[in-house]
Structure 1
Amino acid sequence: MRRKLVIWMFEHSQRIYTRFFKRKHIPWGISTEMLLAYPSNSFGYHLGDFLNRNGFELISKVERHDAYHVLTQFGTEVEDEIALQFLCMGNGKKSMYMYGAIILGALILPEFYKYYQLSYHIGKEANTFHQFEYKHLLKLDYDFFRSAIFSKEIEAIQHTKLQELKQSYKTVPALNTI
């Protein structure tokens, strides 16, 4: 029930946010198929693959959010979305939407606090990535781009501690029914 509430809030607040706070942003005008036409080692292809695997299309005017998912390798479960906002805050991003998602997410799903906290620290340790114009980076080599943002130490944390922490949440019976 709590997860459904957060999903409902994300879906409805997203439309309001883009309508009133992203009026001046120009949509990319790029489809998933166009992204999948990029070379397979490119950031654009990886973004298209992410969208295709999840049955998504880019969200007009906030396309960079999906780019964050691809760059950071965070999933699309509710707790991943909130953790991604914590990571962005750690990386220096500032937005009303991000702060709202963090506050409400932490209040509604506090059992993921360790995941959120670790995500914040990963964002803090990473090189700044929230300011990029991702549309202009679609041709970049994906592995090169990630290595420029995340050090090998951060990669190790992300692939071990973060994954272990997420696995531990899946083994708690009460969380599987949320």
Structure 2
Amino acid sequence: MRDYLIERLYECTKKPYQKYFKKNDPWDIDKKQLFDFPNDSLGYGLGNFLYKNHFDIQEKLEDHDVIHVLTNTGISVYEEIGMQYYLLGNGKRSLYLFMVILSGTIFYPNQIKYFFQQFKRGKQAHSFHYLDFSKMLSMPIQSIQKTFKI
């Protein structure tokens, strides 16, 4: 039930977040075009992630799925919250991030150890949350992970 509530909260807030808070331009790329990148690249890895999870590219939210790829974070509700803890540790600050962390901590107090592990992982990595990943799609995933200690 709590997974359902968190997912509904996300669905209700996603559109206003995209429209009013995300200032970046949407990427000019189709999901199928991601497979034109080299097999070890971020673009190809993003394509695999999207297809494997039956997702489409979400306009202005493309970076979110890239973070999943780079950090090897799953898509369950508690893992999504853990990824926000990771980003907090990595230096990201936003109202939306704090909303997710607050609601996630309240709904998943039994995952607090996991959340703090993710926060520590994010803190140990070099700050990368602000990068323009659309310009990095042809780069090898492992090279990015190594460079930023992800």
TM range (shorter): over 0.9
* Distance (whole Å) between structure 1 residues aligned to residue 29 and residue 105 of structure 2: 33
1:8-27 correspondence runs (5 A): 8-22=8-22, 24-27=23-26
**Alpha-carbon offset, residue 44 of structure 1:** 0.6
Distance 2:78 2:30 in 1: 27
Q: Calculate percent identity across the aligned residue pairs.
A: 35
Match of 1:107? Answer: 106
State the 1:4 CA deviation: 0.6
Q: CA deviation at 1:52?
A: 0.7
Q: Which runs of 5+ in 2 are unaligned?
A: none
Q: What stretches of structure 1 move > 2 A for 4+ residues in a row?
A: none
Letter in 1 for 2:108: L
1:53 aligns with 2:66: no
- Whole-angstrom CA distance in 2 between matches of 1:11 and 1:149: 31
CA apart distance, 1:25? 2.1
Partner amino acid, structure 2, of 1:7:
E
Shift of 1:94: 0.8
Residue type at the aligned position of 1:142 = I
Structure with more relative contact order (C-alpha pairs < 8 Å, separation 6 or more) = 2
CA RMSD of aligned residues (A): 1.0
Aligned to 1:73: 72
2-side partners of 1:65 and 1:116: how far apart? 18
Q: Could you tell me which amino acid in structure 2 is paired with residue 68 of structure 1?
A: I
Q: Which residue of 2 aligns with 1:157?
A: none
C-alpha separation between the residues in 2 aligned to 1:137 and 1:31?
A: 16
Quick one: which amino acid aligns to residue 80 of structure 1?
E
What do the CA deviations read for 1:124-174 (whole angstroms, capped 9, x no partner)?
A: 0001110100000001011111111226xxxxxxxxxxxxxxxxxxxxxxx
Bigger mean CA deviation after superposition, 84-93 or 24-33: 24-33
Larger radius of gyration: 1
Deviation at 1:40, TM superposition (A): 0.3
> Equivalent residue of 1:117, what SS?
helix
Per the alignment, residue 7 of structure 2 pairs with: 7
TM-score w.r.t. structure 1 length? 0.82
Q: Name the amino acid aligned to 2:10.
A: F
- Unmatched tracts of structure 1, length 5 or more: 152-178
| TM-score of the superposed pair, with normalisation by structure 2 | 0.96
Letter in 1 for 2:17: Y
Deviations 1:71-105 (A, max 9, x none): 10100000010000000000000111101000001
Match of residue 172 from structure 1: none
